[in-house]
Amino acid sequence: MAQKANPKKSSIADDPRASQALQNYETGLRALQEHKFDKAKPLFQKVLAGGSKELSDRAAIHLSICNQHLERSTTNQFKTVEEHFDYAVSLMNVGDYVTAREHIEKLVKQAPKTDFVIYGLAALDCLTGHVEDSLKHLDEALRLNAGLRYQARNDSDFHNLAEDPRFTELLYPDPAADLSSPESSFREDDSY
């Protein structure tokens, strides 16, 4: 039996990729056990790229554990709503819409009347094809802050809505409607 073990060791030693994958796996496992998830994650990613089926399967499980722990710590590290929102936008920018939605929905619960958060939700809805929700959230954001109208006009995140007349109505409201309201009516014969 000792003879069978030696050829395996020598075959691993002979294959530098397998040897490196094993070393990365062992180092990653130690980092994981020490709760150093940010150090363990790239090591397990290297093992996945190494080609060893058995190590890759194990590394994938450990990588999943690292990702779960890193996700939890990321959500707790934001000091402000703005920081958390910026992180969600960065996720949108790289195309990770699922995780971005998780963060934006947390922000909506945390700060439900924050204009830029609702605006971000509208943009995410548009990017993911939820047109009705996008229009509803954009309308809500514009009610909270009419100045966002100018931003939305040039925001490429809303390109899916560019031809929708409802979108146009939100961004370019009829000025005559504002003039006909009682608060904005002006009579020339009023003198003070």
Report residue 147's pLDDT band, with 50, 70 and 90 as the boundaries: very high
Residues 1-33, buried b or exposed e (16+ Cβ, 10 A)?
eeeeeeeeeeeeeeeeebeebbebbebbbebbe
Q: Average the pLDDT over each of 36-40, 69-73, 77-81, 136-140 and give the range with the smallest value.
A: 69-73
Split at pLDDT 50, 70, 90, the class of 73 is low
pLDDT of residue 20: 87
Continuous segment of H or E residues that includes residue 171: helix 165-171
CATH classification code of 80-182: 1.25.40.10
Confidence (pLDDT) at 166? 95
Separation CA 129–CA 123 (nearest Å): 10
Predicted pLDDT of residue 188: 44
Q: Where are the domains of the chain?
A: 2-75, 80-182
pLDDT value at position 94? 86
Characterize 126-138 residue by residue with b for buried, 16 or more Cβ atoms within 10 angstroms of its Cβ, and e for exposed.
Answer: bbbebeeebbebb
Structure confidence at residue 101 as a pLDDT band (50, 70, 90): very high
Q: For 125-136, how does the pLDDT look when each residue is reduced to its tens digit (9 = 90+)?
A: 999 999 999 999
| Mean pLDDT of all residues in 64-73 | 80
